[in-house]
Structure 1
Amino acid sequence: MPSPEERFDAIVLGAGGAGLMCAAAAGQRGKRVLVIDHAGQAGKKILISGGGRCNFTNIHTAPDRYLSANPHFAKSALGRYTPADFLALVERHGIAWHEKTLGQLFCDGSARQIVAMLLAECQAGGVTIRLGHAIGAISHGDGRFRVTHGDRVAIAPSLVIATGGPSIPKIGATGFAYDLARQFGLKIVEPRPALVPLTLGGEELLFRSLSGVSADVIARCGRAAFREAALLTHRGLSGPAILQISSYWRHGGSIDLDFLPDQAAGWMIEAKRARPRITLTTLLRGLLPGRLADVLAERLGLTGDLGNMPGRKLQEAEQRLRAWTFRPNGTEGFAKAEVTIGGIATAELSSRTMEARRVPGLYAVGEAVDVTGWLGGYNFQWAWASGWAAGQAL
């Protein structure tokens, strides 16, 4: 015999950051909320983030640090639930934290503290959480959603899609959110990997021999530019600067790396005057990791002393080092992507409540939506803000 139907005010699919935040906010407003997740553990992405210490927000959060087909969509939620609001919650739970570079906030201890905090907030709101329950058939009729999960059936007037995107499938991530959104007639912006290493081929294979070498660079793609470390790998390019710029890169396009961002224009001519007997390799070795300096000097093809080189050649070499062009042949895919660009189209949703315009009672939050932040805590802040916005509206 099938189980009797259980009634709730809202059903949240996904026990990640956005889903738990939404459930806690609604539960503490007196709503009867059920959270369902196929995983046996809540907040799996939180647990592996920031090297296990969870980069839980960024104090520099602003809408221009997010990518979306509608760059204005995130403004409402981000403006109403800020990094200061989440930090106040963290401190209320006695979680010690510290700021790293570029406004990134991390737990002093463990990411488990953030998950425990969210679960405690859900408990305070009387939220029912069911983990390890595979989600089966979902239907909608008479103003109610019906969700089969395991051998149970739950019904509610509101349903929240908080199952994230397909990035990091090893922790159980799938494209479930998109399938469900399509079932209800919502449009999808094509998902692609973001915050992901880039792969190289062809002539650029030479750089793979430098696997493990890191350098401070400015990475550029179009008008986007990030100054952080780039890491050369056996497959191509990685490191914070590359992960950031990967969100802006498209197949067939190029990226430029400034290998010497602190050098003023004309520095090579100046070096020629000051040290005419020095070679380009030796000069670059004083500014860059040795193996990288050797490969760059070899590719520039300038041999002998600087004093014997024409100024025009040095200017060309300087320009190339300032904008060394790479044409990646791909990315390392969703398996290595920290997040997903694209997802449920923002045109389908209210920016204030995250509710679907054409399907009353259906909501989408977090990474499932076409809003993607920079590296460094921005995506968690979107999870908190979008989840909170929906939680206030349920």
Structure 2
Amino acid sequence: MTQNQAYSHKHLNSACLDTTYASVHQGLNKSVDVLIIGAGASGLYCAFTAAQRDRSVLVIDHANKAGKKILMSGGGRCNFTNYVVEPENFIGSNAHFCKSALTRYNPWEFIGLVEKHGVPYHERDYGQLFCDDSSKDILNLLLDECSEAGAKVQLKTDIISIKSLPQDNDKQGFIVETSKQTIHCHSLVIATGGLSIPTMGATGFGYEVAEQFGHQIIKTSAGLVPFTFTDKVGEVIASLAGISLDVIAFNERISFPRPMLFTHRGLSGPAMLQLSNYWQVGEAIHINLVPNVDISELLKQAKAQHPKQLIRSILTEYFPKKLLLALQDLHWSDFKDKELANIKDEALDTIGDKINNWSIKPSGTEGYRTAEVTRGGVNTDEVSSKTFESKKQPNLYFIGEVLDVTGWLGGYNFQWAWASGKACGEVV
């Protein structure tokens, strides 16, 4: 599809899209400086930032509520940022892309906005900041800022077509036909997010718009998502649903000391969600179930001091009973009723390794249904890191999750939304 062809939503009848520029222009019934598609975190932040510069701004979204993902985030408390945000907390094909915006908009600026609006908040582990009361406080903050600055938000609005206008035209920019009106805008901002949690209204719309204007999409996949298992280990894991413990989850590239949760479908909790961003299908993951103890050394010392004890007796203080018995069946069933004196040190080393370096291969993840974010997205090599303007189409901008920038769990993806929305809002 060429740049001057109209984008058509695949669920709509293509016959209704045979509209020439002239006829669309005649039917024009709204004109704004900035049109933002997507009433989520980055879109709303961009909206009031631009409106504060006396730009006329309209935000449109197909959903019936603004900020649906904001409302459900953080278990309804919205982990809105983190005290420490570094470029290393983000992944993408261009590791340097996120640096400019993050440097220009640090967490303290958003914290200042939170305090300005009197939103009570608290810190949890690893610098994570959450609302004391409700995620609604963050959404209301954004909507209040939009209202005060004069940015309008229009919901229940579907996009029918997007057409770029010739650069030499007096009304350069875009003609956007929607289910409610035809809009001319000078700047068009795509803030539609990724594919995560489709029940919240997530679609691939932003990627399709990017492709319409010649952008490459870095392959997308579910990020910050629980692992699933289909083998015998999976059956054992399912039987332990509800048990959690602090572990170190790791692979050859990175490690995360965080809590892990056994579920009916597999392994979840912060440790697993973090590691999922760095996992590829077919790879094994590694888990240190007792991070601060060398289990093989512990067992060999116990063998010397208490030779008549059983392995499970030594390990009982480190695991819930149900988990300990499951690990016994998996890793030392042949020795479960043998005294330590009758077990060779080599066997104890192997058992210790199974606990400090449990290697298992997920069959997959729970996918976009439960993923917190989408890995991949619009290729950032084709977007300005300072303004977020497309390098392929003047006056077209991409912000937030639709880009190939994915943050860790812990408030980083919200900080990216604020930072990219602010940087874009300052120039559109």
Q: Is TM more than 0.5 here?
A: yes
Q: Aligned-pair distance for 1:384?
A: 0.3
Aligned length: 394
1:224 aligned partner: 254
1:208 aligned partner: 238
Q: Which amino acid aligns with 2:263?
A: T
| Within-5 A mapping of 1:92-111 | 92-111=116-135
1:277 is the counterpart of 2:289: no
Per-residue CA deviation, residues 144-169 of structure 1 (Å, 9 max, x unaligned), is: 11111223011111100000001000
1:337 aligned partner: 371
Q: Alignment partner for residue 37 of structure 1, among 36, 55, 61?
A: 61
CA distance in 1, matches of 2:412, 2:117: 21
Are 1:195 and 1:337, in contact at CA under 8 Å, matched by a contact in 2? Answer: yes
Per-residue CA deviation, residues 172-230 of structure 1 (Å, 9 max, x unaligned), is: 11111101110111110011000101111123233222122212110012221111111
1:268 aligned partner: 299
Q: Alignment partner for residue 217 of structure 2, among 188, 198, 206?
A: 188
**What CA RMSD, in Å, does the superposition of the two structures yield over aligned residues?**
1.3
2:15 aligned partner: none
TM-score under structure 1 normalisation? 0.97
Per-residue CA deviation, residues 126-154 of structure 1 (Å, 9 max, x unaligned), is: 11110111121111112311111223011
Q: Which amino acid aligns with 1:200?
A: F
Unaligned runs of 5+ in 2: 1-22, 167-171
2:328 aligned partner: 297
CA distance in 2, matches of 1:73, 1:237: 32
Are 1:145 and 1:159, in contact at CA under 8 Å, matched by a contact in 2? Answer: yes
Are 1:197 and 1:246, in contact at CA under 8 Å, matched by a contact in 2? Answer: yes
1:347 is the counterpart of 2:378: no
2:8 aligned partner: none
1:83 is the counterpart of 2:117: no
Are 1:3 and 1:151, in contact at CA under 8 Å, matched by a contact in 2? Answer: no
1:234 aligned partner: 264
Q: Aligned-pair distance for 1:3?
A: 5.3
Q: Aligned-pair distance for 1:311?
A: 1.4
CA distance in 1, matches of 2:266, 2:42: 33
Q: Aligned-pair distance for 1:232?
A: 1.3
Q: Which amino acid aligns with 1:316?
A: T
Q: Alignment partner for residue 398 of structure 2, among 364, 369, 377?
A: 364
2:426 aligned partner: 392
CA distance in 2, matches of 1:31, 1:146: 18
Per-residue CA deviation, residues 219-252 of structure 1 (Å, 9 max, x unaligned), is: 0122211111111111111111001101111101
Are 1:355 and 1:361, in contact at CA under 8 Å, matched by a contact in 2? Answer: yes
Q: Which amino acid aligns with 2:192?
A: T
Q: Aligned-pair distance for 1:283?
A: 2.0
Q: Which amino acid aligns with 2:74?
A: G
Q: Aligned-pair distance for 1:355?
A: 0.7
Per-residue CA deviation, residues 11-68 of structure 1 (Å, 9 max, x unaligned), is: 0000000000001110001111110000111111000011111000011110001010
1:128 aligned partner: 152
Q: Which amino acid aligns with 2:72?
A: I
Per-residue CA deviation, residues 371-394 of structure 1 (Å, 9 max, x unaligned), is: 000001000000000010100111
Q: Which amino acid aligns with 2:91?
A: L
CA distance in 2, matches of 1:300, 1:150: 60
| Within-5 A mapping of 1:367-382 | 367-382=401-416
Unaligned runs of 5+ in 1: none
